[in-house]
Amino acid sequence: MKASLLIELHTEELPPKALKSLSEAFAAGIEAGLRARHLLSTDSATAAFGAPRRLAVHITHVLPRSPDQPFKQKLMPLAVAQDKAKNWTAAFLKKLEGLGRGHLATVAVGTREGPDALTVESDGKAESVFLQSVAAGQPLVRGLQEALDESLEKLPIPKVMSYQLDDGVTTVRFVRPAHRLVALHGHTPLPVQALGLTGGTKTFGHRFLSQGEIAVHAADTYAEQLEREGRVIASFAARRERIVALLRKAAEHLSAEPLMPDDLLDEVTALVEWPVVYESGFQDEFLAVPPECLILTMQQNQRYFALRDASGTLLNRFLLVSNLDAKDPSAIIAGNARVVRARLADAKFFFDQDRKQTLEARIPGLANVVYHNKLGSQLERVERVTGIAVAIAKALGVDETHVERAARLAKADLRTLMVGEFPELQGIMGRYYAQHDGEAKDVADAIEEHYRPRFAGDALPASMIGTCVALADKLETLVGLFGIGEKPTGDRDPFALRRHALGILRMLIETKLAVGLDHLIAVSSREFAAAGAWREATEELTEFLYERLRGLLREDGYTANEVEAVVSLAPNRLDDIVARLAAVRAFMQLPEAESLAAANKRIGNILKKSAVGDRQPAVEFDPALLFEPAEKSLADAFRHAAWRSDANYAAGDYAGALTALAPLKQPVDRFFDDVMVNVEDPKLRGNRLALLATLRAQMNRVADLSLLAAG
């Protein structure tokens, strides 16, 4: 009979930042192993459990034994299995004996002997002998043991521990010492083994709130028993939802909103088995410190949840999630208030000390900070970023003086105590310190903005000064690191170059910056003239940017064909790329689109075959050499369509530029029906090729339409 399955490993406290992934991988591994062994039903459902001291999985509708499975196995080619007299060879007979099917040596091909039969079939290359049989199903215990072993072997353990079992001899390697293994199929215990433990029915609840061992009655009662008897919410997701609900409820009493970043919620969920939320606070004097510092201190050091009022102002209250449900929580509240007070005092000290020295005075100290051993110090990097930023400002007509000032100060906060303690605040603290130093507002804002976008979906710089410095910062990184061979490979991208590239592309596209990629890379490359180990890598970097562009546009909802039609032209300016894509999409709605795209592809193939070496056909044709009615008609239609298309293209109406070409469908079709391009007369042939080249160049100014053709 089908029944639910439960597997639980009870351990010492698991690493909180890894618990969620460990829990999901443990459950997924066992599910995959059982499914591969045909021990699950089509309607089996899997629930992963993960708590500070346990990994568990519950799966419904698990079979006690897998069904018999018919199979077909290739044994060897017929030419090797039989001799010229069509008798089985010694090699084939040995093969049968090794498979325990020696009895089939005397059975005619195609005749079944019990579940077994030999057949001769083609394997796609030659005729071969196959064994057709039925593999007997295996009991759940055996299949589960294999699935459990595989799942444990593949767990994403951040750091493995070694520990000895109670026998004092056996050494086990796992993420944390494991103490109990629970394995139940329905009500039946399963004697599987893992990490020196044998499956049973007993586990433990909350370290402080439960009453000792818990005997799990059945797989389906596990979660309810743990919660009722052990004061443990086993489900990671359910525990997280409860924490969010408790935080919101506690914040309501203060008419506040809790700050609940996902990473912090996941970590706190992994630290508690029975979450309880308490409110505490700190002195008003600490509110003089920038709120980002206070929030980061509370979140990173203490796992507290900061509170903001309706206007977004940080309060001097916070919420903490405890693993203890105390009758009198005053000691917990007071103790956490004392701890956070010391942490915030450190932050206030850093802030006060940092403001005693200006950002400008800190710039020389960047010479003592290594950026990269082949690219010099942070001070050298600042000089390069400044040069690039000023060049971009010139190209875009932005205030060069303020761009230069912001770029020169952008990295100075790396030498402050606050950023030394919290690297996540670089740029943010630079803005505060610049304001304190009396720098212009747009300069101070640009210091913070130049790190944007920091992650996928992050806001772009809000000002053009910030945009210039942000582009310069990311371009310096890409051009510099590509120039010393530090390029991303596969999943390896230690310098986050893909993120930098996407940031550049987003700024160019979303801010509609009228500057070309070639200019940006060129002005950036000039700044590395003095870097001895650096070599120009413009071609590789440009292709890297276009590959990221393809991915970015596909994520925005454009099809692969639409993207390739535009990006394959290697557009130098990206400020109009969205308009080009919109034009392509509108063009494909025209009734003439499919025919014109196919004609474009055909023209491209003709021109490619007609090229001599690297020499392409001429792009200008002579109307006087046209004498066939179809080619005259095409040339005439082209002149009218090109005039309208040119006007629309010049006005930035790319959709109109493509739509203006629709009337060319019939003359193009007639041309291919009535005119032979590759005639013997070289002048006629060259002129017709030039006509086609002119037509294709006109059609492909917005996008390569041939890539939109079917097939």
Nearest CA to 289 among 335, 340, 358? 340
Residue 455 has pLDDT above 80, yes or no: yes
The pair phi, psi for residue 512, each rounded to 5°, is 55, 55
- Answer whether residue 289 is part of any domain: yes
Instruction: Assess whether 102 and 182 both reside in one domain.
Output: no
372 and 521 share one domain: yes
Which of 80, 115, 135 finishes a domain? 135
Pair 172, 198 in one domain? yes
Q: Say which range, 143-152, 497-506, 593-602, has the weakest mean pLDDT.
A: 593-602
**Nearest C-alpha neighbor of 125 from the set 88, 80, 82:** 80
Lateral strand order in the sheet of 116-122: 69-77, 127-135, 116-122, 112-113
pLDDT (0 to 100) of residue 616: 53
Q: Answer yes or no: do 78 and 160 share one domain.
A: no
CATH of the domain at 626: 1.10.730.10
Six-digit token pair at 447? 């210091």
pLDDT at 614 over 50: no
- Please check whether residues 57 and 175 belong to one and the same domain: yes
Same domain, yes or no: 197 and 331: no
Which pLDDT band, with edges at 50, 70 and 90, does 613 fall under? very low
Residue tagged 């206030």 (tokens): 348
The reply to whether 196 falls in a domain is yes
Give the pLDDT score at 611: 67
Residue 429 has pLDDT above 70, yes or no: yes
Q: Which residues of 490-509 are buried (b: 16+ CB within 10 A; e: fewer)?
A: eeeeeeebebbbbbbbbbbb
Which tokens hold the place of 205?
């609840």
Residue 682 inside a domain? The answer is yes
Mean pLDDT of the 580-601 span:
92
- The rounded percent of the chain whose pLDDT value lies above 70 is 99
Residue 562 lies in a domain: no
Q: Which of 588, 486, 518, 502 has the alpha carbon at shortest distance from 552? A: 502
Amino acid at the residue 360: E
The H-or-E segment that residue 135 falls in is strand 127-135
Last residue of a domain, one of 230, 265, 283: 230
- Alpha carbon distance 659, 665 (integer Å): 11
650 and 609 in a common domain: yes
- How far apart are the C-alpha atoms of 570 and 554, rounded to whole Å? 16
Answer whether residue 115 shows pLDDT above 90: no
Residue 524 phi, psi (nearest 5): -70, -40
Domain count, the chain: 5
pLDDT band at 168 (very low <50, low <70, confident <90, very high): confident
Structural tokens at position 422: 């919290």
pTM > 0.85: no
What is the pLDDT, as a whole number, of residue 709? 87
Q: Within this chain, do residues 143 and 282 fall inside the same structural domain, yes or no? A: no
Domain membership flag for residue 294: yes
User: Do 598 and 696 belong to one domain?
Assistant: yes
CATH of the domain at 371: 1.10.3210
Q: Would you say 365 and 415 are in contact if contact means Cβ atoms under 8 Å apart? A: yes
Q: Are residues 293 and 215 in the same domain?
A: no
DSSP 191-254: --EETTEE-BSEEE--TTTS-SEEE---GGGHHHHHHHHH-----HHHHHHHHHHHHHHHHHTT
Segment 519-547, tens digit of pLDDT: 999 999 999 988 888 999 999 999 999 99
Domain end marker among 195, 230, 265? 230
Express each pLDDT in 218-271 by its tens digit: 999 999 999 999 999 999 999 999 999 999 999 999 999 999 999 999 999 999
State yes or no: pLDDT of 513 exceeds 80.
yes
Q: What pLDDT digit, counting tens, does each position of 79-90 carry?
A: 899 998 889 999
Half-sphere CA count of 477, side-chain side, radius 13 A:
20
Nearest C-alpha neighbor of 194 from the set 57, 342, 385: 57
Domain extent, residue 52, equals: 3-66+139-230
CA-CA distance, 260 to 266, in Å (whole number)? 10
Asked if the structure places residue 577 within a domain, the reply is no
Task: Evaluate whether residue 521 is within a structural domain.
Answer: yes
279 forms bridges with which residues in the sheet? Answer: 319
Asked whether residue 583 is assigned to any structural domain, the reply reads: no
Whole-number pLDDT of residue 400: 97
Looking at the structure, do residues 215 and 252 belong to the same domain, yes or no? Answer: no
Is the Cα dihedral 220, 222, 225, 227 positive or negative? negative
**Per-residue pLDDT at 479 exceeds 50:** yes
Predicted confidence band of residue 619 (pLDDT cuts 50, 70, 90) = low
Report the SS3 class of residue 68. coil
Residue 551 pLDDT greater than 90, yes or no: yes
Reported confidence tier of residue 486, pLDDT bands at 50, 70, 90: very high
- The pLDDT score that the predictor gives to residue 617 is 52
Mean local confidence (pLDDT), 484-502: 92
Token pair of 293 as six digits: 């510092």
The share of the chain scoring above pLDDT 90, in percent, equals 86
CB 296 within 8 A of CB 343: no
Buried residues in 283-307 as b, exposed as e (16+ CB within 10 A): eeebeebbebbbbbbbbbbebbbbb
Give the per-residue pLDDT at 711.
64
Give the DSSP letter string of 528-556: TTT-TT----HHHHHHHHHHHHHHHHHHT
What CA–CA distance (Å, rounded) separates 280 from 277? Answer: 10
The answer, yes or no, to whether residue 192 has pLDDT greater than 90, is yes
Same domain, 426 and 524: yes
Pair 439, 405: CB distance under 8 Å: yes
Tens digits of residue pLDDT in 3-37: 999 999 999 999 999 999 999 999 999 999 999 99
Q: How far apart are CA 206 and CA 218, in angstroms?
A: 20
Would the pLDDT of 559 be above 70? yes
Nearest to 451 by CA among 435, 436, 429, 433: 429
